[in-house]
Amino acid sequence: MTLARGLAAFDDRVLDRVVMAVPAAGMWLARLVDRGAETPVDGVVRLVAQGARGLGTLARRPQTGQLHQYYAQATAALVVLALFLVFVR
């Protein structure tokens, strides 16, 4: 009977505390990793989204619906391409 009481006390004082400490340690580690990894990753995602938004704004700028402006843009692009090919070769 004494052995049973001793083992019950050991279970209550030691094993139960270890079992309760494991989730607390896991939560502490998760918070630590969250601060160290989540913030930089979130910053990169926000930066990519901001860049995509800016490129979308730039892509919509020449879309005026006026045909003569599209011809002028195509001509300018062909001139730049021709100059590039002349200077590269």
Quick one: pLDDT at residue 50?
97
List all residues 6 or more positions away from 69 whose beta carbon is below 8 Å from its beta carbon.
62
Quick one: pLDDT at residue 49?
97
Quick one: pLDDT at residue 61?
86
Q: Where exactly are the structural domains of the chain?
A: 2-88
pLDDT, tens only, 12-63: 788 888 888 888 888 988 888 877 777 788 889 999 999 999 999 998 888 8
| pTM for the whole structure | 0.46
- Give the length of the chain: 89
Q: Are 62 and 69 in contact (CB under 8 A)?
A: yes
* CA–CA separation, 70 and 33 (whole Å): 51
Quick one: pLDDT at residue 33?
80
Q: Are 15 and 6 in contact (CB under 8 A)?
A: no
Quick one: pLDDT at residue 56?
93
Count how many Cα atoms sit within 13 Å of the Cα of residue 72 in the half-sphere of its side chain: 8
